[in-house]
Amino acid sequence: MMKATNGGAPLLEVRNLRRFFPIRKGLLRRVVGQVRAVDDISFHINRGETLSLVGESGCGKTTTARCILRALKPTAGEVRFQTAAGAVVDTANLPKTALKPFRHQMQMIFQDPFSSLNPRMTVFDIIAEPLLASGMKDRDERRRRVENLLELVRLRPEFMGRFPHAFSGGQRQRIGIARALALNPSLIVADEPVSALDVSVQAQILNLMLDLQDELGLTYLFVAHDLSVVKHISDRVAVMYVGKIVEIAETKQLFNAPSHPYTEALLSAVPKPDPRLRSERIVLKGEVADPAQPPSGCYFHPRCAYAIDRCRTETPPLEEIRPGHVVACHRAREIELKGVEAQRAV
């Protein structure tokens, strides 16, 4: 299962990941269908970068994140993770017991700062729990480490005796970040870490995350639906639609020159500060496809303004149209789409 060190290997490589949820009905709970929450996606994250996963609610972003962390067992596919020792392990197919040595190298920051901290434990106990689980028996040692972690996330160490109810949402999120950092992970999966926070606090948390990335050399998988946040934090962006990745590109490239019609529509929904420029919003027709009964061909074709007959029958593969820019669209090379700047210029 382990492979020899590969110098240029990405920190994380996801290959053909699938996660289907069975739909059960009746007294005998027979399986009558599948919700294809994550449907054959592949991408990679390089060491030290931030990859954002964006898409509408229910498109499979969170499921992807949880499959990578093995909070959910993937139905199929590989999650190849380069461990601190340099070996590459496929965490998707390891038995749960064999996973423990690698668990601490990938940690998660949660969306809801209220439900992600046990209200019945003090801040010290919350942050020290991963330390305890990894075998740090000495209480003073744990206390020193927790003090360091709290300072790292700019919280006062003397408040470690408090319970989470004494803190605001942003402060709680910092505690969550401190917990995630406790075991020196290399990959942090952040599942909408700021979407539950006030706008004023969002920037603080994002900047803290960027600072920590510089200080500790962290790699982020950033799950979000707020594109202005994504633009601020990420190096590359992957766009998901109904369980599939439709486009991956560098942030600037994606925002300025998207190549998938869905990305264009998403970008047009980004609020613009200047009211005179609020004209060219692309309103998609119809509803988001049902992941239990996806349409034929390209999942986006019923809503796509550029769809041709081929889109209805043939599923487009992810193709690299220029270095580092992959798109799943038959017409990616033919059509001219507008990015954020172009839309603004109209």
Longest dimension (CA), the chain: 68
Closer residue to other proteins, CB minimum distance, 115 or 293: 115
Nearest distance, CB of residue 85 and other proteins, angstroms: 17
68-99: b (≥16 Cβ within 10 Å) or e: bbbebebbebbbbbbbeeeebbbbbbbeeeee
Nearest distance, CB of residue 69 and other proteins, angstroms: 6
CA-closest candidate to residue 20, choices 31, 34, 30: 34
Nearest distance, CB of residue 156 and other proteins, angstroms: 6
Cβ-proximal residues to 227 (8 Å cutoff; 6+ apart), any chain: 54, 255, 266, 267, 269, 270
DSSP class of residue 92? Answer: T
Closer residue to other proteins, CB minimum distance, 27 or 283: 27
Q: How many angstroms separate the CA atoms of 123 and 160, rounded? A: 5
State the first-to-last Cα distance of the chain, in angstroms, to the nearest integer: 54
Closer residue to other proteins, CB minimum distance, 62 or 263: 62
Nearest distance, CB of residue 66 and other proteins, angstroms: 8
Q: 80: which strand partners?
A: 13, 90
Nearest distance, CB of residue 251 and other proteins, angstroms: 27
Nearest distance, CB of residue 121 and other proteins, angstroms: 8
Closer residue to other proteins, CB minimum distance, 84 or 166: 166
Nearest distance, CB of residue 129 and other proteins, angstroms: 6
Q: How many CB atoms lie within 10 A of CB 169?
A: 16
Closer residue to other proteins, CB minimum distance, 57 or 97: 97
Closer residue to other proteins, CB minimum distance, 11 or 160: 160
3 state SS of 292: coil
Binding footprint of other proteins on the chain (CB under 8 A): 29, 69, 71, 100, 103-104, 106-108, 110-112, 115-122, 129-130, 133-134, 154-156, 158-159, 161-163, 165-168, 170-171, 176, 179, 182-183, 204
Closer residue to other proteins, CB minimum distance, 166 or 277: 166
Q: How many CB atoms lie within 10 A of CB 331?
A: 19
Closer residue to other proteins, CB minimum distance, 183 or 270: 183
Q: 111 phi and psi, to 5 degrees?
A: -70, -50
Nearest distance, CB of residue 280 and other proteins, angstroms: 38
Q: How many angstroms separate the CA atoms of 210 and 311, rounded? A: 40
What amino acid occupies position 39? D
Q: How many angstroms separate the CA atoms of 25 and 27, rounded? A: 7
